[in-house]
């Protein structure tokens, strides 16, 4: 299932690397990533895909010290044709 997340991260490249590593280790595939730097924060919009429950990812991202906010924007359901 595809999920769109909005993540607010400290403006450091190491912080971005950390949260992307969590995405990978939790078994999610990154489909799309948009990153915008404003002042001392990165605002990241990303789409991930996995059969695993999304809360496994959002809870782990929220635990990272460099992550200020994690928001599940929407769920995109796809049906097989």
Two tokens at 29?
A: 């595939």
Q: Which domain holds residue 28?
A: 2-76
In total, the chain counts a number of residues equal to 81
Task: Report the predicted TM-score, pTM, of the whole model to 2 decimal places.
Answer: 0.81
What's the pLDDT at 60? 94
What's the pLDDT at 74? 62
pLDDT tens digit string along 33-77? 999 999 999 999 999 999 999 999 999 999 999 999 999 986 555
**What CATH number did the domain enclosing 56 receive?**
3.30.70.260
- Specify if 35 maps to a domain: yes
| Residue 13 and residue 39 in contact, taking contact as beta carbons nearer than 8 Å | no
- Specify if 81 maps to a domain: no
Domain count, the chain: 1
- Specify if 17 maps to a domain: yes
From 40, 3, 39, 43, select the one nearest 23 (Cα to Cα).
3
């Amino acid at each position: 299932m595809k999920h769109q997340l909005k993540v607010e991260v400290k403006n450091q490249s190491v912080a971005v690397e950390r949260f992307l590593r969590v995405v990978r280790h939790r078994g999610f595939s990154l489909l799309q990533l948009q990153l915008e730097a404003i002042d001392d924060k990165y605002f990241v919009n990303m789409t991930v895909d996995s059969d695993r429950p999304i809360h496994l990812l959002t809870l782990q991202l929220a635990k990272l010290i460099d992550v200020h906010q994690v928001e599940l924007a929407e769920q995109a359901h796809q049906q097989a044709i």
